[in-house]
Structure 1
Amino acid sequence: MKVRTVPEELQILRALNYRKLLSNKDKNKYINAEKGYEGECKFDEWLSPLISGKIVLNDLLLEYNNSIFQIDSLLLTTENIILFEVKNFEGDYYINGSEWYSMKGKVINNPLHQLHRNTVLLRGLLNESGLKLQIEPQLIFMNPLFQLYQAPIEPPIIFPNQLIRYRAILKKDRSFINDKMKKIAKHLLSLHLDKNPNSRSPKYHYNELQKGTICPSCHQMYRELTKTILVCGSCGGTEHYEPAILRTIADHQLLFPDKKITTDEIHQWSGKTVSKITIRKLLNKNFKQVKCGPSTYYEIRVQT
């Protein structure tokens, strides 16, 4: 009922990574965000054959008791809710007491604490709405190159080498989608927040960003237009100009939502890859024109 989409924070980090040199801190944040999203997508593929008769809600951003919390995936069965916290950790880690460490001795956030927090907040949110349901929390690791040493036996952790066995357990669940679970799912969807007020994107300015139209294969800037085809001088990839420029406009809207979309603005932002006449035609075709003459700008068409 709620599919996974690329988080806005990751979209911004991607766009900035292609157009400027990120600081080490922001670069690490970007790499971790990409790996996290990759793990969640792998989890979706793994779960997909098992969801018959169940309801799946991905990327829920909720608030309870003035606390914002994000849930990677919820699986609603006939009897309960399985709350998945998905991790894509790679490499060797170990536990000492309640602390988690990399083999280099660096302390990392304990994902069991995050799982517990999400479970408590979700239970409180449901109870507040008069919905008392059993919540089964699961911390699931998707990367086969992950290893955790000194792991306790009791915590609800599914390791990569346990995925096949856990799949068999889920297959035995003969759930069916009933009105009660549909109602709960719709209620949770109605509480979903579109934006995370705690999200912190890197600071950036228009003038410091490289202007151009980005090749989707190698993420370098297109340099050549042959008739209607853009040719990448780096990887040799080709693409019709229209989807490429539309993607460039989408980046512009993402990074600078308050800037008006005009022919001149997009011509500059796209690195003058195509002519102003071509951009004007593309804008007229795909966007709503507002005003006329030198002050003309464009907005997204509202679908009716």
Structure 2
Amino acid sequence: MFIKSRCESAELKQLRYLHIRTNLSEKEKRHFSNLEKGYEGELKFDMLLDNLSGEWLILSDLLFEVGNTIFQIDSLLISQKGIFLIDVKNFEGDFYIEADRWYTASRNEIKDPLLQLRRSESLLRRLLQDHKLNLSIEAYLIFINPEFTLYQAPRDLPIIFPTQLNRFMKNLNKRSSKLNEKHSKFADLLVAKHMNESSFTQLPNYDYEQLRKGVICEGCQSFLISVEKYKLACNSCGYKEEIKSAILRSIEELTLLFPDRKITTNAVHEWCEAIVSKKTIERILTKNYKRLGYGWSSYYVNS
């Protein structure tokens, strides 16, 4: 049972919008690609967890602060006898370990992913101690991508390879799990301690004027949009979307990229590059947002 489901981080959403509306540097593109790929891998693992039998409490995408240290957990499974802490990696290609260091096939050293797992396990154990909870922790690093290979890995590492995933899930299913109120309270505690957003994001500097305006096609992320009665149609892929849905999506994008910018009819009209009339935008805003102020000084907020 999923107690806390996974959702895209604000950082990933912002980078996705910026990738479409401006030119990111190569370093920024790599960071965006890594976040996107990581999120895809985590969703794949969530699908596997969906098939778990027995009683489990599953929490995804947790962010905690313990002793002024912030740490993140991809997936946490609460069972009758203890906790499974899972770090999911969507690495692709050939890697190897040499003298306790990790390398790509082209001999580029990468950060040891086990360090993050051990750090998270240690901090989670401290969080449990702070709340006088005596629960065992099993921590695993899971490589979800079937195109991943790691050479020269010691056999005793807490790693689950793609070819071992099915067996790992079967072993979890074999563990009978009967939960009680204590487990539920612990899950509630973790949800309460979770931080919504990390302050350690890597966003490029950007301003309103440098970003391309217009409505982005939800199907292919292009700007070639035309109006067909009550729908917007993409001239590139043919995808059609209700005008209301497209405008609301564009408003969400605007507020995420510029949270301090007031949402007005004129602001949305300009952001959408006047694809529809101000009258249509005002009607959509009035029905879906709360209006504050009067006349030219009025603006909209979430109701």
| TM-score band w.r.t. shorter chain | over 0.9
Does residue 41 of the first structure (1) align with residue 43 of the second (2)?
Answer: yes
Q: Which runs of 5+ in 2 are unaligned?
A: none
Alignment check: 8 A CA contact 1:222 1:273 kept: no
Distance in structure 2 (CA, Å) of the matches to 1:49 and 1:216: 30
Distance in structure 2 (CA, Å) of the matches to 1:51 and 1:16: 41
Distance apart, 1:154 and its partner CA: 0.4
Distance in structure 2 (CA, Å) of the matches to 1:22 and 1:52: 46
Does residue 105 of the first structure (1) align with residue 107 of the second (2)?
Answer: yes
**Deviant stretches of 4+, over 4 Å:** none
Aligned counterpart, 2:214: 212
Aligned counterpart, 1:164: 166
Aligned pairs for 1:8-23 (under 5 A) are: 8-23=10-25
Alignment check: 8 A CA contact 1:222 1:230 kept: no
Alignment check: 8 A CA contact 2:9 2:197 kept: no
Pairwise CA RMSD? 0.9
Distance in structure 2 (CA, Å) of the matches to 1:130 and 1:51: 29
Distance in structure 2 (CA, Å) of the matches to 1:153 and 1:91: 20
Q: Which runs of 5+ in 1 are unaligned?
A: none
How many residues align? The count is 301
Does residue 180 of the first structure (1) align with residue 182 of the second (2)?
Answer: yes
Over 3 Å counting, the alpha-carbon distance change for 1:224 and 1:159 in structure 2 is same
Aligned pairs for 1:1-304 (under 5 A) are: 1-50=3-52, 52-301=54-303
Deviations 1:195-230 (A, max 9, x none): 212223221110010001010111001431122111
Q: Which segment drifts farther, 188-197 or 259-268?
A: 188-197
TM-score normalised to structure 2 length: 0.98
Distance in structure 2 (CA, Å) of the matches to 1:92 and 1:200: 27
Partner amino acid, structure 2, of 1:253: T
TM-score normalised to structure 1 length: 0.97
Deviations 1:242-296 (A, max 9, x none): 1011000000010000000000000000111111010000000100011111111
Q: Which segment drifts farther, 57-66 or 45-54?
A: 45-54
Distance apart, 1:51 and its partner CA: 5.2
Alignment check: 8 A CA contact 2:96 2:105 kept: yes
Distance in structure 2 (CA, Å) of the matches to 1:182 and 1:84: 19
Alignment check: 8 A CA contact 2:217 2:239 kept: yes
Q: Which segment drifts farther, 191-200 or 115-124?
A: 191-200
Alignment check: 8 A CA contact 1:50 1:170 kept: yes
Q: Which segment drifts farther, 287-296 or 254-263?
A: 287-296
Distance in structure 2 (CA, Å) of the matches to 1:52 and 1:287: 43
